[in-house]
Amino acid sequence: MKTNQPIKLSGMPQAGVIRFVSEQKLALAEGKKTSVVTITRTGTFTDPRYGEFEISKDMLLAMVDNFKKGAYGQDIFIDVAHKPDDGAAAKLLSLSVEGNRLRAEV
């Protein structure tokens, strides 16, 4: 199985830019160009930067709707290991909600 090289993002993000990240290592089977991965799921979470927060199914559905409308106005990438300086592992091609999970074709 071959692994893809990270996509290096140039420069620092612009003010207000949000980078979505995933701890999953993205590897494609020989000959495949895309994969479907889980980005996040519903639940209550704690992060040292943001404290406790909740992600609801309505929020996931709104993310899919905004993605389909192009609300962000540019391509969205998944950072390598939550480290923007290491580049991106994949570009989001589509989003969907499956059960309690936000899924992305990358």
pLDDT, one tens digit per residue, over 7-23 is 444 445 555 554 444 44
pLDDT, one tens digit per residue, over 65-106 is 999 999 988 899 888 777 778 888 889 999 999 999 999 999
pLDDT at 10: 45
Distance between CA atoms of 36 and 92, rounded to whole angstroms?
10
- For residue 6, pLDDT over 60 is answered with no
The single residue listed with the structure tokens 């939550």 is 82
Distance between CA atoms of 39 and 103, rounded to whole angstroms?
6
pLDDT tier for residue 4 given thresholds of 50, 70 and 90 = very low
The strand pairing partners of 85, in sequence order, are none
For residue 51, which amino acid is it? G
Q: How is residue 3 annotated by DSSP?
A: B
- Structure tokens, 30: 């020989």
The single residue listed with the structure tokens 């609300």 is 71
